[in-house]
Amino acid sequence: MEVAREIGGWHDTTGARQAWVAEKEIGLWEAIKTNRRAVFWSVMISMSLIMEGYDTALVTSFFAYPTFQRKYGEYFPSIQQYQLSGAWQAGLSDAQVVGLIIGGLINGWSSSRFGYKPTMLVALLALNATLFTTFFAPSAGVLLAGQLLNGIPWGVFATVAPAYASEVLPLALRGYLTVFCNLCWATGQLIANGVLQGLVTNPTEWSYRIPFGLQWIWPLPLSAILFFAPESPWFLVRRARYADAQAALRRLADRSDDQVQAALAQMRCTVARETEDARKRGDAESSYLDCLRGADRRRTEICCVAWAGQMLSGAIFAYSATYFFAQAGLAVADAYKIGVATNALSFLGTVLSWFLMARAGRRVIYVSGAAALALVLLVIGIVSATTETVTNSPEAWAQAALLLVWHLVYSLTLGPVTYAVVAETSAVRLRARTVVLARCVYNVTLIVAAVLGPYMINPSEWNWQGRAAFFWCGGATLTAVWAYFRLPEAKVSFSSLFLFFFL
C-alpha cells in the first residue's frame, strides 16, 4: 500500500493495515466486550427513533379515532359517519413528511459541519418547543402546521442514528446496531398503538391529547444523556481534529495506545484517499453533487432505491393498519387491538432479523423480502376483491391476518436490512450526505404514497379498501426486480427467495 498524503500530515500505513485486519478478524462477542461503550452510545442515539416511530404513528392512527374524527373531521351523510376527507388525511401525512425532508437536508449540512452530537441536541430541544403546536391545535390547519414543524427534528433523528452507528462501531457490530434503528422505530410504533388502544373508548378530547402530550417524555431526558456522548471519531478526522479523535476512540472502546494510533491511522488513510480522489475531480470540499459522481453514483443509487423500496412495498398501506381494519369491517376497538399486534410482530421480526442476517447476505434478505411481500399483498387484494365488506366477517379477519403476515415478513427482511445496506454502502467521506439523500428519496416516495393511500381506502373517496393491495403488490414486485439486478452480492437461486427463512 502506498503512503497516502493528506493535509495535516502523513499516514502510518502499517498501523492502518493492522487496524483493518483486526477489525475484520474480531468476533462478535469480543467486539461487544471491547466496544461496549460504543454500543451504549449508539443505542442512546438510536433511542431517538423510538420517539420518531411513536410520533409519526399518531396522526395516521388517529384517522379511525372517533373523537379525533369529530374534532378535526366533518360529517358525511352518505356514509353517516364523521371522517377526515382524503385531502386532509393526505395533507396531515404529507406535512410531517415535508418536515422530515427539511430536517434531513438540515442534518446533511449540520452534521458534516458541526458534528452529530450538537445537531442531535439542537433537534431535541427544537422538538420540545414544536410539540406545543400539535398538543393545543384547535383546528386541522394548525395541526397540519404542527406536523410540519415536528417533522423537522424527526428528519434529523432518522438520518443521524444510522450514520452515527456506522461510524462508531466496528464491522462485526455495524449490521446489528444499524438494524437496531429499525427496532427502535418499531418500538415507538408499538407504544403509540398501545396508548391509542387504551384510550380509544375515552369520549373526551383527552383521548387524543394525552397521546400527543406523552411525546414530551423523550426530548429532555435524552438531551441530558446525549450531552455526555462522544462525537464520531470519523467526523473529527474529517475536520482534522486528530487529538479529539484520539480522545473519542478511547471513550468508545477499550484500546491500548498502540490500538488507538492504529485506528486513527486507518481513519486518516481512508479519509485521505477519498479526499485525494475528490481533488482529482476538482472538488475541494465534499458536496451533494459528489454523491452523483463516479463510483459514488452507484452507491447513492443503492442507498436511495433500497430505502424507497420500503415504501413501494406497501408500508403506507400496512402502517395505516388501524384505519384499514376499520374500513375492512372490523369494529374500531378490534382494529386498534390488532394494530398493537402488528407492531408487536414488527418488534419480534426485527429481533429475529439479527439471527437471519448472520445466516444470509443482505441481498438475499432484501430480494426475498420484497418478493414475499408482493405475494402477501396479492393475496390480500384477491380476498378483498372477491368478498363484500361486512362488520366482523371472516373475510375481514382474513385480511387482518394477512396484514399481520405482511408485518412479520417486512420486519424480518426489508424493514431492518435497509438500514444496514444504507449505512454500509455509503463512502466514509460522503456518509452523512448519502444517508440524507437516501432518506429524502424515501420521504418523497412517502409523500406520493401518503397522497394516494388515504384516497384508496377512505369510504368517502375511492373506497378501494383491501383492493389497494394490488397497487402495492406492483410496487413490491418492481422493488424485488431492481434488487435482484442492482444490489451487490452473489446471485441467488429462485428457491432461495422463499426458503432462506428455514436456514
Indicate the residue type of 121: L
pLDDT of residue 38: 92
Q: Exposure string (b/e) for 78-88, b if CB count within 10 Å is 16 or more?
A: eeeebbbbbeb
Instruction: Note the pLDDT tens digit of each residue in 349-391.
Output: 888 888 888 788 889 999 999 999 999 999 988 888 887 665 6
Task: Give a yes or no: residue 5 inside a domain.
Answer: no
Instruction: Note the pLDDT tens digit of each residue in 94-145.
Output: 888 889 889 988 988 898 889 999 999 999 999 999 999 999 999 989 999 9
Task: Give a yes or no: residue 416 inside a domain.
Answer: yes
pLDDT confidence band for 224 (50 / 70 / 90): very high
Task: Give a yes or no: residue 6 inside a domain.
Answer: no
Task: Give a yes or no: residue 304 inside a domain.
Answer: yes
Indicate the residue type of 285: E
Question: Would the CA dihedral through 251, 255, 260, 266 be positive or negative?
Answer: negative
CATH of the domain at 86: 1.20.1250.20
pLDDT of residue 496: 36
Q: How many domains does the chain have?
A: 1
Domain span at residue 112 reads 12-502
* Residues found in the chain: 503
pLDDT confidence band for 274 (50 / 70 / 90): confident
Could you tell me the three cell numbers for 265? Answer: 491511522
Q: Comparing 248 with 65, which gets the higher pLDDT?
A: 248
pLDDT of residue 35: 87
Q: Exposure string (b/e) for 426-445, b if CB count within 10 Å is 16 or more?
A: bbebbbbbbbbbbbbbbbbb
Instruction: Note the pLDDT tens digit of each residue in 445-484.
Output: 988 887 887 778 777 677 787 788 899 999 999 999 999 9
Cα separation, 329 vs 338, whole angstroms:
13
Task: Give a yes or no: residue 222 inside a domain.
Answer: yes
Task: Give a yes or no: residue 3 inside a domain.
Answer: no
Task: Give a yes or no: residue 4 inside a domain.
Answer: no
Cα separation, 336 vs 89, whole angstroms:
18
Task: Give a yes or no: residue 134 inside a domain.
Answer: yes
pLDDT of residue 152: 93
Q: Comparing 246 with 395, which gets the higher pLDDT?
A: 246
* Per-residue CA distances from 393 to 236, 276, 322, 406 (Å): 60, 65, 16, 20
Whether 280 has a pLDDT exceeding 70, the answer reads no
